[in-house]
Amino acid sequence: MSQKTYRVIQWATGTVGTVALKHFIANPVFELVGVYVTNPDKVGKDAGQLTDRPATGVLATDSVDAILALEADCVHFSPLLPDVDTVCALLRSGKNVVSPLGPVYSNDICSGDVEKIEAACREGSASFHGSGIHPGFVGDILPLTLTRLSDRIDCIEVSEIADKQKTPSVYIDFMGFGQTPDELLAKPNCMTGAMHAFAQSIALLVEGLGKTIENLTETHEIATANSDIPYPGGTIRRGTVAGQHWEWTAWADGKPLVVYHLYYRVGDDMEPAWHLGDSRHHIVVHGSPSFEVTLQATKDADGHRPFLGITWTALLGCTTIPQVCDAGPGFVTHIDLGVVQPRGLIR
């Protein structure tokens, strides 16, 4: 087993980036060599200070050129918004890139980006891997792996159920929570067109089963708050959007083959009452035999199960880095990686 260490850069220190940064500091397989930030208050601060850890000697910078000039094996690229041109510049500078912003798998919507990334990989002799919990794991490589337990498959359902009251983020605003249903439906937000990002994961699963997607369909349900719902950072007012359910169905041979459900909510007091229970990921394989798998946090001291989607998104990226760095240059999917063998977790 390789004892190699990997020189890493953390790009952006939001919720995902901070989890990754803590992992890079703690895991001896990684040597943190750079941190890129946009927030002027963070520039010049030690990575340890940004993560409540002892000083590391690595100071955050807002200079893209300084990051490009660093010698590093990999950049964990987790800013708020996609930026394929910057990803390509990092790849051309010879750094591998792992990113929760994808793309995770080439399809008709993202193939242009994948081609640009592949060209930059060739130029820089580097690799790119799109990571994350969903899209990136729970709706693609995890169910694809589980299908080995099947004799016959009729349909696979994958649900992400997240209570944003317990794990608030900028996404409460970005997804239009707290608006009236009419306001939400009148203007696009970050979930407009999200089906096409998740369609990459669906394609990986469907094509992994030897089929092609004939058609993708979407439904979107809204639940409104029965009372004011406070959360750390704000309040969802009575009558405004407190819950949203997206359902994306991939059809093959005229039947639904893969169905994704995303249930995002702030608290529970809403109409309709979906009675969702704890935050979790849930996979149901309908067929012979039919079976289900639930992925959720163990209960904390208060008896709650926190939503681990953000933590897992960061760790799924971090744990693939050694293999992505060791892979031949190019756009590397789960199929190319095979069984990922994380390094440095036993410590």
Binding site for ligand NAP (CB under 6 A): 12-17, 37-39, 42, 78-81, 100-101, 132-136, 169-170, 309-310, 313
Beta carbon nearer to ligand NAP, 39 or 288: 39
What φ, ψ does residue 69 adopt, rounded to 5°? Answer: -80, -15
Least separation in angstroms between residue 50's CB and ligand NAP is 8
CB atoms within 10 A of CB 230: 12
Q: How far apart are CA 6 and CA 2, in angstroms?
A: 11
Beta carbon nearer to ligand NAP, 102 or 243: 102
CB atoms within 10 A of CB 293: 15
Least separation in angstroms between residue 106's CB and ligand NAP is 16
Beta carbon nearer to ligand NAP, 164 or 245: 164
For residue 100, the 8-state DSSP code is: T
Least separation in angstroms between residue 307's CB and ligand NAP is 10
Beta carbon nearer to ligand NAP, 243 or 309: 309
Cβ contact 98:136 at 8 Å: no
What φ, ψ does residue 237 adopt, rounded to 5°? Answer: -75, 150
Least separation in angstroms between residue 137's CB and ligand NAP is 7
Q: How far apart are CA 188 and CA 44, in angstroms?
A: 36
Structure token digits, residue 228 = 């004011």
Least separation in angstroms between residue 310's CB and ligand NAP is 6
Least separation in angstroms between residue 272's CB and ligand NAP is 26
Beta carbon nearer to ligand NAP, 51 or 249: 51
User: 80 to each of 101, 113, 192, how far by Cα in Å?
Assistant: 8, 18, 16
Beta carbon nearer to ligand NAP, 82 or 239: 82
Beta carbon nearer to ligand NAP, 80 or 293: 80
Residue with tokens 């660093």: 70
Structure token digits, residue 62 = 């807002």
For the chain, what's the residue count? 347
Strands 330-331 and 60-61: unpaired
Least separation in angstroms between residue 243's CB and ligand NAP is 19
Structure token digits, residue 64 = 């893209």
Residue with CB nearest ligand NAP? 14
